[in-house]
Chains A and B, each alone.
Chain A
């Protein structure tokens, strides 16, 4: 019985601790108080449940225990600081009315937590750190490791963000319909940044840091469940379709393998099927956004059993939609590569040279890498060499640099 309860408690922590935290933040009006209360509630459960049995509704028990513990704590501190007594009283009265809420309200708390952590008045790196800490329950050490910074720096970033939430009074709410689209974009951006940091980290020795991309997929799933918006589905689809190639993307030695050279039998067909289902649903909605369009492109790659069977025509169709609705130099670059695949290297190179003349991507190593590949195909070896060298100089990630160096070496002459 004893170890049974402990196991159940451990599972409950995994499944419910973020829900309980999200509700406690609403009831107590403070991240710090809520975190302490969550900790105390699980401690109380660990000591009481083995003796008294697990309550019928463990989550409600944890919320109400955590709330009482926090108010108790304030009352104890009030012996030294009278002003806290008043805080404790009003907290007690206020939250008393709100404790026994329906499940919808509780689910909304998780959304409130996500939107608060991704509030645009917090610095982008603070949004990411806070989301990973509060929503995903990663430790500061884990987050610091993932972003190659020290735990002290990261902890400070989180403390500062929480202080700003408190003192600027960032409300704990899901934005109203007028603000929702913009605010949702900010949330999606945080999730996609986390995913990309995991999938193709911009620094360091490894190509992928799996934990982060898995965390991002988990976040995407949670958001899709809480807020079934087409772009949320589009982003989840995009992440799943990329993630599906994970096993094929690097060699045993940790080297990068390009899409056209990957062993497609290693692609995860379950993830692909899920991603494609989501893309289809998102595409028929009225609000087709950039994530959905990129996911549609990824789905077309996933559909081709061999690289030669890729439907570049269809892919270009989606790139055209993408550049019309959401123009960006990176989209132009990717489109140029697709044009090269359909119409030949010269056509692609012309587009890249135009882009390069615009000057906005000249510090982006992939522009030079793409240019190098096309020059090589056209037999313009000297230009290719120069472009590979530029790409290598700009590339900060070791596996990608090794890949580019191998390309440079294999140039004839």
Chain B
């Protein structure tokens, strides 16, 4: 047996490197489990922990800050979860912060999230109980989805009947197959475009008119902008008011007058009363008028006799000639 040379230095390095790697990896693994750092305890109470187990991660604003230490059933509706939190986080976690449960990724492990309440409450102490928020579990989500699915089924069924009816409707297909319709539509659209173009021009004109009015051009502008006119108008109005006042005075006098007249008439003074109320006078008047009629009749006969008189015939002929000339 030949003794092979041995190098204690190399053996020492070999073993040391192995041991260091062992210690290092133990530290690295232990660091995640909070075995070597200083921790403090916080608790939260849930109705349902949804599969959370001891050792699950606790995150504060998405940062890994600790692990679940213990899960204890308090009673049939309450489960207490104790968390070990890195003591460095003591200056950030407040008493009113909220603990909620979620999943790491889509199908990953359960995690606890501590969300900052941002209301400036006191910092949480060792052993404090934090409030929790109930999260929607996948079961509840699926239940809602189930309802939605059923509704969608109903809707799709109705859509199907609608589409079937549309398909079987001759009128719509006729409308769709109409070849002239697009041309007509195009023409309509063209005329609408013209109309709108004109409307646009009109609006522009209106705009310019309004601008002119604003600038005091034209009579409307003058009315609106000229202060002198306003003064004149005011005066005119004042005068109209005065006239109105005068008119009322006039009306008053008139009414007095009519009242006087009325009185006169009723009491039997004056000619008007004689005219209106005296029946004897009316008979006399009638007689006089018939006498006058008879008189004028006789006068007419006398005049006719005069026309035919030889003395005056020449004058009347001259008059007739002049009429003809004209």
Tell me if chain B binds chain A: no
Contacts from A to B (Cβ < 8 Å)? none
Contacts from B to A (Cβ < 8 Å)? none
